[in-house]
Structure 1
């Protein structure tokens, strides 16, 4: 069997390269990778060779939103069998530090996360991964949906950090893939009113189609005035989930949120931004960050299996592995939301 991988070589240069078939170590399984979603981080590494302190210094396989079929078991694996269809949780922590022991393993300093330098990703025919971070997919959940469990988990973690509950009014800033999965999760958790804001008409149209009760096209530059427009639509949101990372949007999130409410910062923007901290302090608006997710995969898979939400509608474009350049070139264009690459081996 051949193992072709999508390798980032230099800035704006990636190639399909054949590499040796990986063999699973103790506690690992070998996977025939089937679907991989392209994330903004993959695109950033391609275009900039870095994200913050994470710098690509040697060739790296891209991709971390994945699903696959178990093809071989490493020593000691008992939770999976050959032929199992699984969603891959890309971050494997040390399992021994204080954060791992209390269940907040996403904060582990030694987490090994796919396609984060110097760790290879999984846009490949075959990949080996820790078996306890591979999750069985029910028969009614497709492998493509399995790849979308990763971005969906971000939405689950954001809504849990926000404490979204029945009857809530929720503001979602940013109608990209993460904003929309956060919207889907908030709706499934019982939110009564959800307003989604963005600067792109086509994204807001999709948000409405996917279940947003209200949308707002951002034209006004003053964050306070934008906050008032939001309040006119859904009242004061008790929860705001900020998914753009833009300074003005973070400011809007704080101004719009109800006193005593919660703002969750999901979007990764500049390292430092100016925010109306006094406004948040005197109104007891909680500001919470999230970093990826923890303990969300099984819950996210169950949501999809029960039909609580439909992640398939996120996918707008599909490509074969040989078309990876076209897949990456399409990212960010009008009408493109989530791009998925089929990595099934044809050898």
Structure 2
């Protein structure tokens, strides 16, 4: 067996952040029968000398986590063995491999939870998010971050600005998805953007589009409370989707939001066929349509309109080079603030309750704190 790389350890972890520091790796585990339970697992070892071990402080729940719990699979990824869910996390560096250069024990970091092979043509061309050999947290067969510890290469751990709390740091992952979506749309300066879906990703796409200089950002949803929230989170205007044809919705949307001529860019964060059809209908000729949300794998799609408008249709998958760094720069400059997105918080022992909360579509974003974490301290910025 290959020995674990030499570690750089420091006993002076910020004990104000955690209630106890017993060397136990407690994990929240989903079984193939879709039952949750807690397990004490071995403390993860560093796979390479470039790896760091992070004590998880906060983890945001994603719709994919809930989907694995409720359905046991997403596409070809099937829960055949017990798996730890969670991939939106921030924590404290607890150990470093001997070749780690830019991190040290005690650093507060946001985790990029996917590790590409770095050798395939896709990785080498700068699109590592499309790597066929990607080891992505909480995607079978790879465990996620709902545990005491998690290991990643140094390049997948990003230092948080001092004024950003670790509960906010856990949302750098979904923020990076929004950065990637908006980046695919090209230059947004002075352009009009319509975002379908006022869930966490849609709201973050609104905020990023505005930060990138969009002249008008319109968000569309069916939930009044989310539309109201969106007004203070990047949206210039909102529209409540109606149960009518895409053409009728577009006509009403354009009148209510003064979106004359349609949107230069449409981002769909729902995956719902009515929203996609309406989004294509409201897209300007020559515009760009970004598909971010995942719904039914097969839908009726107005491909003729894409051709008639000579529109650009792009799929968006996670995030790529530079997206995490840019997301953190947006936080560092206060152009985007994440705290208000978090509407529900749960201790580690309440993790199943947190999953039920998300499944019930309560609030906007739910965060689970790591084992033994003091919630009050996780909400504070660095000293």
TM-score interval for Structure 1 and Structure 2 normalised by the shorter chain: over 0.9
Give the match for residue 156 of structure 1. 179
- 2:348/2:372 contact within 8 Å kept: no
Partner-residue secondary structure (3-state), 1:251: helix
**1:289 and 2:312 are equivalent in the alignment:** no
Q: What pairs up with 1:1-347 in 2 under 5 angstroms?
A: 1-26=23-48, 27-232=50-255, 233=257, 234-235=259-260, 236-295=262-321, 296-333=323-360, 335-345=362-372
Indicate if the aligned counterparts of 1:254 and 1:285 stay in contact, CA closer than 8 A: no
TM superposition score normalised by structure 1: 0.97
> For residues 159 and 334 of structure 1, what CA distance do their matches in structure 2 show?
25
CA distance in 2, matches of 1:25, 1:334: 38
Distance in structure 2 (CA, Å) of the matches to 1:260 and 1:230 = 20
Any unmatched runs of 5+ in structure 2?
1-22, 375-383
State the 1:334 CA deviation. 5.2
Structure of higher CA gyration radius = 2
C-alpha contact (below 8 Å) 1:196/1:204 kept by paired residues:
yes
Q: Evaluate the alpha carbon distance shift between residue 140 and residue 344 of structure 1 in structure 2; reply closer, same or farther with a 3 A threshold.
A: farther
Q: Distance in 2 between matches of 1:282 and 1:39?
A: 36
User: What value does the CA root-mean-square deviation take over the aligned residues?
Assistant: 1.4
User: How many pairs are equivalent?
Assistant: 347
Structure 1 stretches (4+) deviating beyond 6 angstroms? none
Q: Tell me, what secondary structure is at the counterpart of 1:106?
A: helix
Post-superposition offset of 1:282: 1.7
1:35-64 deviations in whole A, cap 9, x for unaligned? Answer: 100000000111111011100000000100
The answer as to whether partners of 1:202 and 1:334 remain within 8 angstroms in 2 is no
Is there any run of 5+ residues in structure 1 with no aligned partner, and where? none
**How far does the alpha carbon of each residue in 1:310-335 deviate from its partner, in whole angstroms, 9 at most, with x for none?**
11111100111011011111114354
